[in-house]
Amino acid sequence: MGVSPGIGHGPAYVLTVSVPEPPEGATFTGEADQEKERAMAALTQVAGELEARGNRAGGEAEEILKAQALMAEDPGLVVKVRTLIDRGLAAPRAVFEAFTKYRDVLAGSGGYLGERAADLNDIRDRVIALLYGQVMPGLPARAAEPYVLVARDLAPADTALLSKSQVAAFVTEEGGPTSHTAILARAMGVPAVVACPGATRIPPGVRVMADGTSGDVRVEPAESDVADAVSADTARLSALASARGPGRTADGHPVPLLANVGGPAELHAAVAAEAEGIGLYRTEFLFLDRAEPPSTEEQVRAYRAAVEAFPGGKVVVRTLDSGADKPLAFLPAAAEPNPALGERGLRRFKRFPEVMEAQLAALAAVGAEELHVMAPMVATAEEAGWFARECRAKGLRHAGVMIEIPAAALRARDLLAQVDFLSIGTNDLAQYAFAADRQLGVMSPLQDPWQPALLDLVAMAANAASRAGKPCGICGESAADPALACVLVGLGADTLSMGAAALPAVRAGLAAHTLTQCRLAADAARAQRTAAEARVAARARLPELGRLGL
Ligand code: PEP
Ligand code: MG
């Protein structure tokens, strides 16, 4: 998976860190108080080192490392370590067990929080290494030429002090788009590929080329292939740099380009990428790690920050989408055999109406005309009507629903009679149209947003919206693919919303094609039988994409 675009090539530097697991049941000799002091001293020292590295690194790395330093001295973890030592465990084993338990809880929550689990492993290993008097392997300070850094996973502490002059690319076996390897690589402008199994078996020193856009990693590439990839990348960069301003097609048809965000920290990147507003505010990410419902003041602050970041721009906030892949502790789930088909999204508010009311009240308190509010996981017109009435009762003027369930796409007309706008979530629409769990890697071919059946459902909903004279946006990952973005516009999407990183490429692709070309590409894609054929047929009608290196 490419997570930081660009081509990087150079000799492989393979980082193999292994701090041994302290033996199960390992005990200590001497006093428990002394053992506890030893553990506390190691935690404090690691926190101090992380903080010092952060100060030297500055920028985004500083924030991340300071957060890690806080984690190292988290009061809950400290108490756990002390308790385990009181029960007779040696300091390294106590640290191992306390951190591992906490890590498993984080990993179980998936998504952004799940990817923080790697941070805890790194802190744990540093503390254990210190307790054993072991030196953590570092990175070469100076190399003859920039290297491709290959590792199982990279911790911010490893990478924070690196620069573009040392590292040509990152390749890791673990990690996802929101892992710190990805975040820091993007901040440094270094290409990165994550989730690349077997990468650490690349022999050290062998030449490697990593494509942070496509996710391709090549070992010993031909020199001509490197030259071709670099020149395509240069073309892509200059195309991206020259596409500015509001989204529109080559013939001037406006397509507002909006950003998907999960919290205030992501607003900055959205503004920097010239998003014209927010197309999907995933509010559940604000409150994932909480046992109590968020307070009204806290919510108002978060939503107001989004409105203030985009003066006059549209801001679409989605009410809490709890359940399945996004568990929220304060909205406990019933035991369900198929949580993705269970009490998820809007359905859960039937059992917890006070939580929805509180969220809508907080949104209303922001009092902004640009604020649009929509519900996830809506299946029927009755549900849409219920949600819209609740919004209006609070004085919210723009109430919409997401189209994520095939039934909703099929009867979009009925839903539109109840609400003011639609937003198509192609991630879940694909999951439910193909009965293919979006969390299962083996199902990913069925999750392919180029599937003609998915395009048909999008067309159906967009056409219904156009007939009703109401707007229809797209906010699934599909909008982040420059070719598919043109197709979605051809299918009738009025706005496109995506992760901020994808905005420049989508803006450039759209600006290079007319609305008619987008429509012809959409027709060509829908005329095919497979996702692969749909993609090829559409791209053949969007000739500028190849020239732009997109
Ligand atoms: C979607 O399902 O396409 C969507 C945008 O929502 P999420 O990915 O948050 O479920
Ligand atoms: Mg969804």
185 assigned to some structural domain = no
- CATH code where residue 42 lies: 1.10.274.10
Ligand 1 within 6 A of CB of 153: no
Enter the tokens of residue 225. 């292939």
- The bound ligand whose nearest atom lies closest to the alpha carbon of 425 is 1
Mean pLDDT value of segment 384-390: 98
Q: pLDDT value at position 109?
A: 67
Query: What's the confidence (pLDDT) of residue 530?
Result: 96
**Region label for 111, one of left (φ > 0), alpha (ψ between -120 and 50) or beta (otherwise):** left
Tens of pLDDT, residues 72-120: 888 888 999 999 999 999 999 999 999 998 888 777 766 666 777 778 8
Q: What is the pLDDT of residue 371?
A: 97
The mean pLDDT of the chain is 91
Strands 192-193 and 2-4 come out as antiparallel
- Check pLDDT > 90 for residue 348: yes
What is the per-residue pLDDT across 133-159, written as a single tens digit (0 to 9) for each?
877 656 766 678 899 999 988 877 777
Mean pLDDT of 511-530: 98
Domain membership flag for residue 174: no
Domain assignment present for 173: no
Is 119 a pocket residue for ligand 1 (Cβ < 6 Å)? no
The pLDDT confidence band at residue 308, using thresholds 50, 70 and 90, is very high
Q: What is the pLDDT of residue 431?
A: 93
Chain-centroid distance, C-alpha 215: 16
Total tally of structural domains belonging to the chain: 2
Q: Is 404 in the pocket of ligand 1 (CB under 6 A)?
A: yes
Residue at token pair 């031909």: 222
pLDDT by residue (tens digit) across 166-192? 899 999 988 776 677 777 788 788 999
Q: How far is the centre of ligand 1, averaged over its atoms, from the C-alpha of 127 (Å)?
A: 38
Pocket lining: 210 vs ligand 1, CB cutoff 6 Å: no
DSSP 520-536: HHHHHHHTSSSHHHHHH
pLDDT for position 18: 72
pLDDT tens per residue across span 64-83: 888 888 888 888 889 999 99
Distance of CA 377 to the CA centre of its chain: 20
* pLDDT for position 117: 78
Euclidean distance between CA atoms 112 and 315, whole angstroms: 22
Centre of ligand 1 from the C-alpha of residue 476, in Å:
5
Please tell me the predicted confidence (pLDDT) of residue 483. Answer: 96
Whole-number pLDDT of residue 333: 83
pLDDT in the model for residue 160: 73
Q: Does 49 have pLDDT greater than 90? A: no
Q: Is residue 82 part of a domain?
A: yes
- Report the atom number in ligand 1 closest to the C-alpha of 325: 10
Mean pLDDT across 400-428: 97
Q: Within a domain: residue 208?
A: no
The catalytic residues are 180, 475
Cα-Cα-Cα-Cα torsion 404, 407, 413, 418, nearest 10 degrees, comes to -70
Domain containing 374 — which CATH number?
3.20.20.60
108-112, 341-345, 379-383, 400-404: least confidently modelled range: 108-112
Residues 272 and 421 in one domain: yes
112 plus 260 within the same structural domain: no
For residue 188, is it within any domain? no
Cβ neighbours around 388 below 10 Å, total: 22
Domain-located, residue 57: yes
Indicate if the pLDDT at residue 450 is higher than 70: yes
What is the rounded CA–CA span in Å between residue 222 and residue 288?
Answer: 47
Same domain, 356 and 500: yes
DSSP E strand boundaries for 194-285: 207-211, 217-219, 257-261, 278-282
Question: What would the DSSP string read from start to end of 94-161?
Answer: HHHHHHHHHHHHHHHH-HHHHHTHHHHHHHHHHHHHHHTTPPPP---S--SS-EEEEES---HHHHTT
Q: Which residue has the tokens 């002059």?
A: 165
pLDDT at 136: 65
Whether residues 382 and 516 fall in one domain:
yes
For range 355-381, the mean pLDDT: 96
CA atoms lying within 13 Å on the CB side of residue 449: 24
Residue 112 has a pLDDT of: 66
Ligand 1, atom 6, lies closest to the CA of: 425
0.85 exceeded by pTM: no
Residue 506 scores a pLDDT above 70: yes
Sheet holding 192-193, edge to edge: 2-4, 192-193, 167-172, 147-151, 7-15, 207-211, 217-219
The Cβ-side half-sphere exposure at 9, using a 13 Å CA radius, reads: 20
Q: How many CA atoms lie within 13 A of 265 on its CB side?
A: 9
- Tell how strand 257-261 and strand 217-219 pair up: unpaired
User: In the structure, what pLDDT confidence band is assigned to residue 235 with cuts at 50, 70 and 90?
Assistant: confident
pLDDT of 325: 76
438 pocket-lining for ligand 1 (C-beta < 6 Å)? no
The answer to whether the CB of 262 is under 6 A from ligand 1 is no
* Sign of the alpha-carbon dihedral angle for 205, 206, 209, 210: negative
Ligand 2 centroid to 460 CA: how many Å? 18
Long-range contacts of 241-248 (CB under 8 A, 24+ apart): 242/508, 243/504, 243/507, 243/508, 243/511, 244/274, 244/507, 245/274, 246/276, 247/276, 247/496, 247/506, 247/507, 247/510, 247/511, 248/510, 248/511
- 427 vs 155, higher pLDDT: 427
> Cα separation of 145 and 168, whole Å?
9
Question: What are the phi and psi torsion angles at 428 (to 5°)?
Answer: -75, -35
- Higher-confidence residue of 57 and 36: namely 36
Residue 199 placed within a domain: no
The interaxial angle of helices 531-540 and 452-468, nearest 10 deg, is 60
pLDDT band at 441 (very low <50, low <70, confident <90, very high): low
List the Cα angle 518/460/369 in 5-degree steps. 85
User: What percentage of residues in the chain have a pLDDT greater than 90?
Assistant: 63
Question: DSSP string spanning 316-338?
Answer: EEEPP--BTTB--TTSPPPP-S-
Atom of ligand 1 nearest to the CA of 404: 2
Whether 124 and 263 map to the same domain: the answer is: no
Cα 468 from chain centroid?
Answer: 33
Same-domain pairing of 302 and 449: yes
pLDDT at 355: 94
Provide the pLDDT for residue 246: 97
Strand, coil or helix: 180: helix
Which residues span the domain enclosing 36?
18-132
Q: If you measure from the C-alpha of residue 517 to the centroid of ligand 2, how many angstroms do you get, rounded to a whole number?
A: 29
Last residue of a domain, one of 116, 132, 148: 132
Q: Which of 105, 132, 159 delimits the end of a domain?
A: 132
The residue out of 109, 132, 155 marking a domain boundary is: 132
Output the pLDDT for position 137: 59
Report how far ligand 2's centroid is from the alpha carbon of 544 (Å).
Answer: 31
264 and 116 assigned to the same domain: no
Judged by phi (left if over 0) then psi (alpha if -120 to 50, else beta), residue 172 lies in beta
Cα–Cα distance between 216 and 464 in angstroms, integer?
Answer: 39
Encoded tokens for 355? 């939580």
